[in-house]
Amino acid sequence: MSEATVLDELPGDLMMWVLIVSELLVFGAGLAAFLAVRATDPAGFAEAQSFLNRSAAGLNTVILVTSGFLAALALPLREAGRSGISRLALVAASLLGVLFLVIKAVEYSDKSALGIGWDSHPFFTFYYLLTGFHAAHVVAGIVILLLVGWRNAPRNIEVGTAFWHMVDLVWVLLFPVIYLLR
């Protein structure tokens, strides 16, 4: 007779949680390094940060958490047999992901127009590295959301949306550190 372990409590797939923890550690190390380097040049980091568009990043936060909400809705909808609406929620979530990327691209384009590149200041090295790596995860997440919308077994939706929530989770930690802390 098998006994339930504490691992059985974990919702979804164990390997997805391993990935989530790995990603949190990578981004966490990046954010800690960012603040450690900032401590050596707080005035330079504050000046560089003043070139960021906080409103656009705030809007992107609203977009991403709303996208996460729609993705989270997809599973209970699918389990209730409302497959079509569940698919619609996943497509809407992925479209919001695309909108996030469009706003991010405008943000990068604005920096480029000002002559700001990754090597303009250590702040921007971290900025492009962390937000760019996150944006790459958004691209992967959009593809995964569309895939699980297509092959929409509840198990697929649970695992696929967990990746999207990880992208969301990283952003709510990255956004305040890079954009808001002055």
User: CB of residue 146 vs other proteins: minimum separation in angstroms?
Assistant: 19
Kindly identify the residues of this chain, within the stretch 23-82, that bind other proteins according to CB under 8 A.
28, 31-32, 35-36, 38-39, 42, 54-55, 58, 61-62, 65-66, 68-69, 71-73, 75-76
User: CB of residue 127 vs other proteins: minimum separation in angstroms?
Assistant: 16
Choice between 116 and 162, CB closer to other proteins: 162
Cβ–Cβ under 8 Å, residues 165 and 71 = yes
Dig out the tokens for 137 from the structure. 């995860």
User: CB of residue 179 vs other proteins: minimum separation in angstroms?
Assistant: 7
Q: Roughly how many angstroms between the first and final C-alpha of the chain, as a whole number?
A: 57
Choice between 98 and 172, CB closer to other proteins: 172
Choice between 13 and 114, CB closer to other proteins: 13
Dig out the tokens for 98 from the structure. 């695309």
Residues in CB range of 35: below 8 A, 6 or more apart: 177, 181
Cβ burial 66-102 (10 Å sphere, 16+ → b, else e): ebbebbbbbbebbeeeeeeebbbbbbbbbbbbebbbe
CA distance 53 to 179: 8
Choice between 73 and 142, CB closer to other proteins: 73
User: CB of residue 65 vs other proteins: minimum separation in angstroms?
Assistant: 4
Q: Give the rounded distance of the alpha carbon of 64 from its chain centre.
A: 7
| Tokens 């059985």 -> residue | 8
Among 11, 113, 115, 119, binds other proteins (CB under 8 A): 11
Question: Does 132 interact with other proteins (rule: CB under 8 A)?
Answer: no
Residues in CB range of 135: below 8 A, 6 or more apart: 101, 104
Among 92, 93, 144, 162, binds other proteins (CB under 8 A): 162
* Contacting residues toward other proteins, per CB under 8 A: 6, 9-12, 20, 28, 31-32, 35-36, 38-39, 42, 54-55, 58, 61-62, 65-66, 68-69, 71-73, 75-76, 161-162, 165-166, 168-169, 172-173, 175-177, 179-182
